Amino acid sequence: MDDLKGLILSGGAGTRLRPITHTSAKQLVPVANKPVLFYGIEALVEAGVTEIGIVIAPETGDEIREAAGDGSAFGATITYITQDRPDGLAHAVLTAEDFLGSSPFVMYLGDNLLAEGITRLVSAFRDSQPDALILLTKVDDPSSYGVAELDGDRVVRLVEKPKDPPSDLALVGVYLFGPTIFEAARALEPSWRGELEITEAIDRLIESGKRVESQVVSGWWKDTGQLADMLEANRLVLEELAPRIDGEVSDDCRVESRVAVEAGAVISGSVVRGPAIIGRDARITDAFIGPYTSIGDEVEVSRSEIENSILLTGARVTDLGTRMEACLLG
């Protein structure tokens, strides 16, 4: 088998996290102070996939290039592929055809986070070499996702965002493909939402008798496309945080439970109740930072209370009258 390549989709319009993502890419919103996209790159590298293409949109591509660079920081080689319009996941695959060539590949949606990584999935794919291997997980609201209909263990049909879902098993945003996916993608017509749907391309593989296998995710999975999911991903990652204090915490502070304080951060007169992370050069003065909060680099918080929130680099909060909760602040 040709060696596997990686394809991360980080284009798209990203309308759902506006206004935060009006100028910046949703894949760069940090979870526990690390851009969502980086978790994907790291998961690929961990599974031994180091030749990675990242699909970018013309509007947000430069920021993504700047953040992820040539990939050397991750032990990978990154090639950027510009998709002119957000015409769908299958359109993104076709846009990347020159980069992918005849290699099998892992496609990873740049706003997805998967606790267990993808090593198990990649080795299952290498062993059985199907046309596609998809990942599924049970969800409460299947009509927001691509949904699988199963017969025993076998996937018999896939539908994108069905009004009347055939099951509660959603497609997770990590897929493995052999080169037959291109032909299936080329045969598609735009869906009701005007996109070339990868879900329909895989459904065509099934219909034409190709081998499509599936696995069910064992750990948690999050599509961070919406605020509530982003905050939940932040909570889940912070739960696993390794506590450490590299910045300065003065004696009049209380730091409880899992807390990471980055170098250059200065905390005084405050309570920090973990799980929480305080970024580089942040200033926390006479404040309460509650559980499940990520304070970005160079953030300033004084005389305010913040809980279950994400504050992006450089945000400032002073003299807030009420406790800030469940916010993403740019």
Only one of the segments 58-66, 89-97, 235-243, 292-300 lies at the binding site for ligand DAU (rule: CB under 6 A); that segment is 89-97
d(CA 181, CA 213): 14
SS3 76: coil
Residue 35 binding ligand DAU, by CB under 6 A: no
Which is nearer to ligand DAU, 92 or 185 (by Cβ)?
Answer: 92
Residue 100 CB, shortest distance to ligand DAU, in Å, is: 14
Q: How many CB atoms are located within 10 Å of the residue 141 CB?
A: 9
Which is nearer to ligand DAU, 52 or 255 (by Cβ)?
Answer: 52
- Residue 24's identity, in one-letter code, is S
Residue 86 binding ligand DAU, by CB under 6 A: yes
Contacting residue, 225, 279, 290, 291, with ligand DAU by CB under 6 A: 225
Residue 173 binding ligand DAU, by CB under 6 A: yes
Q: Within 176-195, which residues bind ligand DAU (CB under 6 A)?
A: 195
> Which residue, chain included where needed, has tokens 């979870």?
31
| 255 to 294: interface string for ligand DAU, x by CB under 6 A | ----------------------------------------
d(CA 131, CA 112): 22
| 264 close to 281: Cβ distance less than 8 angstroms | yes
Structure tokens at 174: 């990590």
> Measuring CA to CA, how many Å separate 187 from each of 23, 47, 99, 202, 284?
34, 31, 20, 11, 56
Which is nearer to ligand DAU, 29 or 272 (by Cβ)?
Answer: 29
Contacting residue, 55, 76, 134, 289, with ligand DAU by CB under 6 A: 55
Residue 204 binding ligand DAU, by CB under 6 A: no
The number of residues that bind ligand DAU (CB under 6 A) is 27
d(CA 297, CA 308): 17
Only one of the segments 58-66, 87-95, 127-135, 179-187 lies at the binding site for ligand DAU (rule: CB under 6 A); that segment is 87-95
| 175 close to 135: Cβ distance less than 8 angstroms | yes
| 99 to 138: interface string for ligand DAU, x by CB under 6 A | ----------xxxx--------------------------
Residue 12 binding ligand DAU, by CB under 6 A: yes
d(CA 61, CA 8): 13
Residue 68 CB, shortest distance to ligand DAU, in Å, is: 13
d(CA 95, CA 11): 11
Residue 182 gets which letter from DSSP?
H
Contacting residue, 38, 105, 145, 288, with ligand DAU by CB under 6 A: 145
Residue 76: which residues within 8 A CB-CB, separation 6 or more? Answer: 6, 41, 44, 45, 50, 51, 52
| 233 close to 242: Cβ distance less than 8 angstroms | no
Residue 128 gets which letter from DSSP?
H
Contacting residue, 6, 11, 53, 71, with ligand DAU by CB under 6 A: 11
Contacting residue, 21, 33, 137, 199, with ligand DAU by CB under 6 A: 199
Residue 57 CB, shortest distance to ligand DAU, in Å, is: 7
d(CA 8, CA 257): 35
Q: How many CB atoms are located within 10 Å of the residue 183 CB?
A: 13
Q: Which residues bind ligand DAU (CB under 6 A)?
A: 9-12, 27, 55, 83, 86-89, 91-92, 109-112, 145-146, 160, 170-171, 173, 195, 199, 223, 225
